Structure 1
Amino acid sequence: MKIKPIVLSLSLLAMSAGVFADDDCTDPVADWQPRENLRLQLEEQGWTVQRIKVDDGCYEVKGLDSNGHRVKAEFAPASLNLMEIKVKINREDAKDTDDFRHTIERFTKSEPAPTAAAGQAQPKQKVQ
């Protein structure tokens, strides 16, 4: 039996597992902003938020964007910066000439996120 190729394959597999584990948010819990702040930001942009939950240390949002497309997005809980977004385009009412490129609105670190006391989110930049 050839043990060397098996051991080599298993060791490469074990080393590669660490590469995929770096997509988690690492913000200290003491620095997290309330989920309601994130909900206010997204609703101000026209999103319909269905759920916000914590997954791998990030806020995971499921809902509809301002164009009616289903969205699953991850945000850093302290800064509320967008980490990842997945969009499922609603093509039911689409025409052949429609452009399906999606504009992502992202919160930059230079702009402060709203606070619960302020009650209103500040305008955000659009990134195309």
Structure 2
Amino acid sequence: MKVIRSVVLAVSVLGFSGSAALADGFKNCTKLDKASWKPASEAEAKAKAAGYEVRRSKVEGSCYEVYGVKEGKLYELFYSPEDLSLKHTIAK
């Protein structure tokens, strides 16, 4: 009985830690120091130019993460603060 309980506990812990890692998003966009980054407002402007209605933005790791809505769907857009290139997109 103890073995079964231990296995169930181990599977539960591994399952939760794996799902948390997937939920984090994209984090590696540049190795440049933050002092050299372009303004976050420029990443928002790029998202708007691409047709997204920008809701908010934040720094995620070394990326600008912009939350936007397009055609009724929510997206997370990850821009490099170095050159404002789009590195990754997640549809929610």
TM-score normalised by structure 2 residue count:
0.61
Q: How many residues align?
A: 65
**Higher RCO (C-alpha under 8 Å, 6+ residues apart):** 2
**Which residue of 1 is the match for residue 89 of structure 2?**
85
* Pair 1:38 & 2:43 matched: yes
The letter of the residue matching 2:81 is P
Letter in 1 for 2:39: P
What residue identity is the alignment partner of 1:72? E
* 1:49 and 2:20 correspond: no
> Contact conserved, 1:74 with 1:85, CA < 8 A, in 2?
yes
Q: What residue in structure 1 maps to residue 77 of structure 2?
A: 73
Identical counterparts, % of pairs? 29
Higher helix content, 1 or 2? 2
**How far did 1:27 drift?**
2.3
Tell me how far 1:84 sits from its aligned partner. Answer: 1.2
Q: Report the aligned-residue RMSD.
A: 1.5
Is 1:24 equivalent to 2:28 in the alignment? yes
Could you list the runs of 5+ residues in structure 2 that have no partner in the other structure? 1-26
Which runs of 4 or more aligned residues in structure 1 lie more than 6 Å from their structure 2 counterparts after TM superposition? none
Deviations 1:77-116 (A, max 9, x none): 111111111113xxxxxxxxxxxxxxxxxxxxxxxxxxxx
2:75 touches 2:91 (CA, 8 Å); kept in 1? yes
Residue 4 of structure 2: aligned partner: none
Structure in which a larger fraction of residues adopt strand: 2
Q: CA deviation at 1:46?
A: 1.7
With normalisation by structure 1, the TM-score equals 0.46
